[in-house]
Structure 1
């Protein structure tokens, strides 16, 4: 894995101005993502995680600071591909057409786009489902279609906004295991926004903990255990220690304005 950063966020700030007031959402956030790294961002509800996600996805401009991307970038094409919380599959399109939609919208011939996604059906456990419609799929399968639609765009960075938050416990665990293997084996560079502390610890090389709004980085947790991890990791003393530390930090950050720290 290269030590050069793929993404650098430096002193990022974002405020929204109305006629009556200015709402400061993000203040002085800095983070980085290296090639092939899996990074998670967690924070209290309403802390500004979605705003940060939109800034990284270049859907909105910062009020201050900078988001800098390093590496190959096609002119006019976003650096990242993102997957929102809901799968947003189009009901009248098949799995094949939903998964290839992003490529088609970029101008790729539909036949070529379909061919590209079919090549990945095995990797995403969607064999034999190309002609199915969303209503015929389980929640886990719908999320895999949505993730395939994101990955197949072949962007340098993947942004995932709580992709498994609405799933039941067993399905969520299965997809976390699958995503852990997929990201490690394919060297994917990922930023995951999540409320789920065990999910962040299980999947990530590094976890950033945000404060209450206006969001700053309270803590940066580096994890040395190699990925992909197995469920046995959840029984280790290191996992229990890190989980307790993050939960304490999140609880404290929800109560007060933090000063920031790094561990």
Structure 2
């Protein structure tokens, strides 16, 4: 069976107005099967966001290909993208912020609201349909943003550090909630994160990128089944994998400083 999503030896360079070429990604390959959760970690400036722009079809690779079920799908989006900031519109309610993508795709507002209402309990937002963003906590805002992403019903979810700006307790609570949600509903997810424990808690597989121009430095396969709870953080597997990832990341940072 072909993977759901394949990144096949992708490279990306940018050309400045004066003709200078800046390579950002040199060679990245990764795969995502249906129902899998993978994470991408790497040093700051390694090209993680550029990789996500490629996956979100906001830009095209200089070389290589991104395929869905082994095929290129020009004009047929296969992913839904959640950026770092929630980007909720302050004048719209929870239900209308969450349903804005459905409306933009042509669904009538009343039908979008009906669909959102069905999902509010799943996202722990029951009773908040008509609330405005300023009335919500940071964790609630992120759940609205994730609902806005999931409700588009695209095969692949792209999460760009969705909990990075939250406090430790809120972030941990949302990580555990997301772990349960993804495992229960069989969501297929690619996550960018700087948080090594987050990557290990949530992921089937973690890809470690090198410094720019990025390559895949290491691929870590995890054995513990998902969903995982906080007890996983006390296991020998977690401690071993955390040390391995931190060693790879710090080595990559040292190499970048020496270059």
Tell me if structure 2 keeps the 8 A contact 1:10–1:30.
Answer: yes
- Report the counterpart of residue 253 of structure 1 in structure 2: 252
Larger CA deviation: 75-84 vs 29-38? 75-84
Tell me if structure 2 keeps the 8 A contact 1:4–1:35.
Answer: no
List per-residue Cα deviations over 1:199-227 (Å, max 9, x = no partner). Answer: 00000000000000000000000011110
CA RMSD of aligned residues (A): 1.5
Cα distance change of structure 1 residues 152 and 9 upon mapping to structure 2, 3 Å threshold: same
Pairing 1:79-118 to 2, within 5 Å after superposition: 79-118=78-117
TM-score (norm 2): 0.96
Runs (5+) with no aligned partner, structure 2? none
Number of aligned residue pairs: 255
Cα distance change of structure 1 residues 47 and 171 upon mapping to structure 2, 3 Å threshold: same
- d(CA) in 2 for partners of 1:114, 1:158: 21
List per-residue Cα deviations over 1:53-86 (Å, max 9, x = no partner). Answer: 0000000000000000118999844110010000
- Report the counterpart of residue 22 of structure 2 in structure 1: 23
- Report the counterpart of residue 7 of structure 2 in structure 1: 9
- d(CA) in 2 for partners of 1:74, 1:209: 27
TM-score (norm 1): 0.94
Runs (5+) with no aligned partner, structure 1? 258-263
Cα distance change of structure 1 residues 74 and 214 upon mapping to structure 2, 3 Å threshold: closer
Shift of 1:255: 2.0
Tell me if structure 2 keeps the 8 A contact 1:73–1:79.
Answer: no
Shift of 1:22: 1.0
Pairing 1:56-75 to 2, within 5 Å after superposition: 56-70=55-69
SS in 2 for 1:26: strand
